[in-house]
């Protein structure tokens, strides 16, 4: 404990805030991650099914979805945070704090994850889809029995990458008073020059990222045969 | 069973369009093993995919078991596809499922309960000889074993037709033979009509009753495997037959005037071709004895197609000129085709 006081004097002064920040980061990641997971999966499937050679090839739908994702991905997240203020306020009732950060986080990570899903599904051998079709499967069957089953390891990889980037985005949400470890580092470490707070936040984020990566690898390993 | 009429299919690509099928027509009878042979790009795989409508023809009609495939609704088409099994060159087993899971895959749709499914899966595994691999994942199997599982999956719901799309092209020759034997056994025991797509004449020779030879999207020759093998009419068919038959070698030796086929003065070099029953009679030794000629066998080759022997012998006859002529006539009378090559 003495060593902690020696290296992190300012952080140890406010352990309650620090742990609350960790909790907020986890909350934001989990909430935005869960919503992005479903939306991204949906968009990823939409791109796969309507894309060239897809089961429900549809140029206009693919074009719109593709461009929408590209546009969302090209807007820097810090700008997105402020640009989405009115939307956030309307949906969540507040544009600041953890609640205020969730909508921009979803908008920021869904397109990224959708691309990950699209890439994961593109890895699935086209022959498997053909075999399923030859056995009389409908596109609906194929989504659940082939894409969402054979794609599990690759999708798990996409989820891991997305969650890690999401942790990064939550830190940025701190810039607009979003709470979490980013906020903690800016408020104390940067603005009040208590550098050890920045390092403490950094270490906490690193540990979260490592944990996500570890769980992700475990799932990938368990689902690859 | 399968009736394809005037089917055409064109693929559009960035470098222009490719006519994969041009007005293709063929009839396949019930219980028949029908081969479609051609070089890559000849359109044979597209033709196979037109049978279960994995490829929709641009024009023409595809009738399977009395149903016009091209006019079915998507739901009806899916139902009809369940009656048409298919196996592939790359096996296309689901990597995340065990052997059990792969074979059970089509059974779920057929409405079988867990217990019935299990029973059927075990029955099929016994048929293809892989009972001990029930819990293995496809990755743990050899190519031949994967194809056996794929066959079990394809026939699980007792289809009337089985399409084999280059099913043995990724396998070594010994495994190919064992898979072909299994297919033949299934054809005999279950009466499944089979369409065998291949680029290997050896496959046709081994199991097909009839064969269509394809080139540039057209069927250039069609007939019983025996007749195509014994007397190919088109150039492609001839080259396929040559690739699968040892008899081709003698033609090369003759063309090259190799020392192996050089004869002495007074000798006559002749090529004898015979089919079926002729091979069971001692015609050569009879000819030799009756006409007093000596027969030196320079080259011999025999193929068995559809349980019929096709034999080619190259003989050097020596003896009196008249005796040789008489011996040749005797052989001709006994349905042996005698061609004099050199004298």
Q: How many CB pairs under 8 A join A and B?
A: 58
- Average pLDDT of adjacent 10-residue blocks, chain B of 343 residues: 94 85 94 94 92 94 94 94 96 96 92 91 95 95 96 96 95 94 95 95 92 94 90 87 76 77 81 71 83 86 83 86 88 86 77
Question: And the tokens for B167?
Answer: 């099913």
**Domain layout of chain A by residue ranges:** 2-223
Mean pLDDT over all residues of chain A? 92
Closest residue to B86, CB basis, from A134, A145, A152? A134
Q: Which of A132, A134, A145, A148 has the most B C-beta neighbours within 10 Å, making it the best mutation to test the interface with B?
A: A134
Q: Which residue bears the tokens 């009679």?
A: B281
What residues in A contact B96, CB-CB < 8 Å? 149-150, 152, 223, 225
Which residues 167-186 in chain A show a CB within 8 A of chain B?
none
Instruction: Check B92 against A130: CB less than 8 A apart.
Output: yes
pLDDT for residue B8 = 94
Quote the minimal CA–CA distance from B55 to chain A in Å: 10
Instruction: Check B137 against A225: CB less than 8 A apart.
Output: yes
Residue B21 Cα distances to A57, A193, B24, B97, B221, angstroms: 23, 75, 6, 36, 15
pLDDT for residue B267 = 85
pLDDT mean over A113-129: 96
Which CATH code fits A2-223? Answer: 1.10.3720.10
pLDDT for residue B280 = 57
Closest residue to A125, CB basis, from B84, B92, B106? B92
- Assess A128–B contact: CB distance below 8 Å, yes or no: yes
d(CA B69, CA A178): 60
Quote the minimal CA–CA distance from A121 to chain B in Å: 14
Question: And the tokens for A9?
Answer: 């004097």
Listed as own residue / partner, the contacts of B25-28 with beta carbons closer than 8 Å and 24 or more positions apart are B25/B60, B25/B219, B26/B2, B26/B212, B26/B219, B26/B222, B27/B2, B27/B3, B28/B1, B28/B2, B28/B3, B28/B193, B28/B195, B28/B210
What residues in A contact B109, CB-CB < 8 Å? 135-137, 141
pLDDT for residue B159 = 95
Closest residue to A136, CB basis, from B79, B92, B97? B79
- In terms of Cβ atoms closer than 10 Å to its own Cβ (0-12, 13-18, 19+), residue B322 is exposed
| Closest by Cα among A133, A118, A129 to A70 | A118
pLDDT for residue B223 = 93
pLDDT for residue B279 = 52
pLDDT for residue A5 = 87
pLDDT for residue B277 = 58
Residue of chain A nearest B81, judged by CA positions: A136
């Amino acid at each position: 404990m003495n060593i902690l006081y020696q290296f992190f004097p300012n952080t140890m002064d406010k352990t309650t805030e620090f742990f609350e920040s960790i909790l907020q980061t986890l909350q934001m990641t989990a909430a935005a991650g869960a919503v992005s997971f479903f939306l991204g999966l949906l968009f990823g499937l939409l791109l796969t099914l309507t894309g060239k050679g897809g089961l429900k090839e549809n140029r206009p739908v693919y074009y719109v979805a593709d461009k929408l994702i590209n546009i969302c991905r090209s807007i820097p997240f810090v700008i997105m945070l402020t640009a989405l203020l009115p939307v956030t306020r309307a949906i969540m009732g507040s544009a600041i704090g953890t609640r205020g950060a969730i909508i921009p986080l979803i908008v920021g990570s869904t397109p990224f994850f959708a691309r990950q899903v699209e890439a994961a599904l593109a890895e699935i051998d086209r022959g498997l889809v053909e075999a399923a079709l030859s056995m009389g499967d409908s596109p609906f069957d194929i989504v659940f029995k082939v894409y969402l089953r054979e794609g599990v390891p690759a999708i798990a990889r996409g989820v891991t990458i997305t969650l890690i980037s999401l942790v990064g985005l939550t830190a940025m949400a701190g810039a607009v008073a979003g709470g979490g470890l980013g906020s903690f580092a800016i408020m104390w470490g940067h603005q009040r020059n208590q550098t050890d707070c920045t390092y403490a936040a950094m270490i906490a984020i690193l540990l979260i990222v490592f944990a996500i990566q570890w769980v992700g690898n475990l799932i990938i390993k368990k689902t690859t045969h | 069973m399968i009736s394809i009429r005037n089917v055409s299919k064109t693929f559009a690509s960035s470098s222009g369009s490719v006519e994969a099928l041009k007005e293709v027509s063929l009839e396949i009878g019930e219980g028949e093993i029908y081969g479609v042979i051609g070089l890559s790009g000849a359109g044979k795989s597209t033709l196979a995919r037109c049978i279960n409508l994995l490829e929709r023809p641009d024009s023409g009609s595809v009738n399977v078991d009395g149903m016009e495939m091209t006019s079915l609704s998507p739901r009806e088409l899916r139902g009809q596809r369940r009656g048409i099994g298919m196996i592939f060159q790359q096996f296309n087993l689901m990597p995340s499922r065990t052997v059990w899971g792969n074979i059970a895959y089509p059974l779920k749709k057929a409405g079988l309960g867990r217990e019935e499914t299990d029973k059927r899966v075990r029955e099929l595994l016994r048929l293809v000889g892989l009972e001990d691999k029930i819990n293995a994942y496809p990755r743990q199997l050899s190519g031949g074993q994967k194809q056996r599982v794929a066959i079990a999956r394809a026939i699980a719901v007792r289809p009337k037709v089985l399409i084999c799309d280059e099913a043995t092209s990724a396998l070594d020759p010994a495994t190919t033979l064992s898979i072909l034997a299994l297919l033949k056994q299934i054809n005999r025991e279950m009466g499944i009509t089979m369409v065998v797509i291949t680029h290997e004449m050896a496959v046709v020779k081994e199991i097909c009753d009839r064969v269509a030879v394809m080139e540039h999207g057209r069927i250039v020759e069609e007939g019983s495997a025996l007749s195509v093998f014994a007397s190919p009419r088109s150039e492609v068919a001839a080259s396929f037959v040559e690739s699968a038959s040892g008899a081709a070698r003698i033609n090369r030796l003759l063309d090259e005037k190799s020392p192996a086929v050089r004869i002495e003065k007074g000798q006559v070099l002749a090529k004898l071709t015979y089919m079926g029953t002729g091979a069971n009679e001692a015609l050569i030794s009879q000819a030799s004895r009756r006409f007093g000629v000596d027969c030196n066998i320079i080259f011999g080759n025999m193929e068995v197609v559809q349980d019929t022997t096709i034999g080619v012998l190259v003989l050097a006859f020596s003896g009196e000129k008249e005796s040789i002529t008489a011996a040749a006539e005797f052989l001709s009378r006994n349905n042996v085709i005698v061609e004099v090559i050199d004298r």
